[in-house]
Amino acid sequence: MVGMFTYIARRLSFGFLTIAGVSVVVFVIMRVLPGDPLIAIFGPDGFTKLSEAERANYMSDLGLSDPLWQQYLRWIGDILRGDLGRSFFRSESVGEMIARRGPLTAEIALISVVVSWLVGIPVALISALKPNSIWDNIVRFFSVLFLAVPGFWFGMLIVLGLLFSLSYRAPLTGASLFTDPWSNLQIVIGPGIVLGLGQAAYIARMARSSLLEVIREDYVRTARAKGLPAKLVIAMHALPNALLPVITLSGILLGFVLAGSIPVERAFGTPGLGYAMFTAVSERDIFVMQNLVLLYSCVFVFLNVLVDVVIAWLDPRIRYQ
């Protein structure tokens, strides 16, 4: 038990260092990017009519004229106080925005994981148990196809297909799962499936190769020799062991879903965090960008630590190393 706690503490400390490093990198990149945020605030035409003194005043008001180290420390201090800052030209705070939009993106991520397992594992089973059969070739073709097709393009096809065949599109504004579940489902299901199918391809390929490896192991042969039915051997002995690397991959992919959700949410017009990130980048909204990137990195690190812990719990060899 002590070993497990030590293991978790070590993983968390590595995670903390990673987040600290990301915060520095993100902060510096945001400050060295060319371009003036005042253009987003005033619009191109309003911006051109600002005098140099007015521009300097506005930059000072935004706190962007201070030395970089002061700006960085102020930002970290705000985060430690639970203040994620405020878009420098919108009324909503970043915290409020995350609270409003985050659940939609979280739902999309969860749906994508469920879809990836529901599609990926059966595909891997077919492919691994009947290698080089017609079914193996078909499912491998589709897994490669979904690996190759960009999610945003697939998403756009779905949106256009529904629009021009059924005159349908998802609701234009966000809806809560608890107050308006039907609208909520319409909003999240499309991006969730598109991202899930993309992940399913990875899951299927990883599970297939892992399963192929496991079913050649001695303990599987022993189980078969004992006279256990083939399905039971796969379900009870081969699959649980073959899924260990798949769990690791799924955790990592869940982190990537957050990044992948940016173009996919854009394609579907989904009012989630991904679209908020797209908007922030296009407007050069420094405070929103740096806080969202930091949030994404925290989620990514947390998921990795969680996966490590789960794997260690499932596989005693890891925690005893």
Partner 1 sequence: MSKSSLRNNGVSRRDVLRGGTAAALAAAYGLRPDWAVAAVPLEFDGKTFQLAAPEPNPKRGGVLKYGITSRLPHFDFHQSGTINSLGSQGCMYDNLVRRDPRDSGKTIIPDLAHSWKISSDGTTYTFFLREGVHFHDGAELTADDIKATFDRIAKPPQGISIPRSVLFAAVESITAKDKLTVEFKLATPRPPEFIMSAIASGWNGIVRKKTLEDNGFNLRRVSDIPGTGPFKSKRRVENELWVMERNGDYWNKGLPYLDGIEFYHGLPFSPELGSGVLSGRTDYARIVDPITANKAKQTPGMSSLNFYQSVIQGVWPNTQKKPFDDPRVRRAVHLAFDRPVLVDVVKDVAPMMVGGFLYPFSEFATPIEELRKKVGYQDDPTAALNEAQSLLKAAGYADGIKDVDFMIRDLPSFKLWAQAIQAMLQQTLKIETKLRSVVESVWFDDVANGNYGFAIGAVVSTLLDPSDYFNAWYKKGGPQNYANWDNPKFNALLPKIDGEIDPKKRLVFIREAEAIMEQDPPVFPICWEKINDVWYNYVKGHNPKDYFGIYDVVRFDTFWLDK
Where does this chain bind partner 1 (CB under 8 A)?
Answer: 34-37, 39-51, 54, 57, 89-92, 97, 100, 156, 159-160, 163, 167-169, 171-174, 267, 269, 271, 276, 279, 282-284
DSSP-derived secondary structure letter, 226: T
Q: Output 79 or 159, the one with its CB closest to partner 1.
A: 159
For the chain, counts of helices (H) and of strands (E): 14, 0
Q: Output 20 or 163, the one with its CB closest to partner 1.
A: 163
Q: Output 12 or 159, the one with its CB closest to partner 1.
A: 159
Question: What does the alpha-carbon distance between residue 176 and residue 101 come to, in Å, rounded to a whole number?
Answer: 10
Question: What does the alpha-carbon distance between residue 292 and residue 278 come to, in Å, rounded to a whole number?
Answer: 11
From the list 289, 305, 304, 284, the residue with the least C-alpha distance to 36 is 284
Q: Output 96 or 217, the one with its CB closest to partner 1.
A: 96
Q: Output 100 or 224, the one with its CB closest to partner 1.
A: 100
Angle ∠(124,255,26) on CA atoms, nearest 5: 150
Please give the C-alpha separations between residue 137 and each of 124, 126, 309, in angstroms, as whole numbers: 11, 10, 36
State the nearest-atom distance from the C-beta of 249 to partner 1, in Å.
Answer: 32
Tokens of 205: 């390929």
State the nearest-atom distance from the C-beta of 60 to partner 1, in Å.
Answer: 11
State the nearest-atom distance from the C-beta of 298 to partner 1, in Å.
Answer: 23
State the nearest-atom distance from the C-beta of 109 to partner 1, in Å.
Answer: 20
State the nearest-atom distance from the C-beta of 163 to partner 1, in Å.
Answer: 5
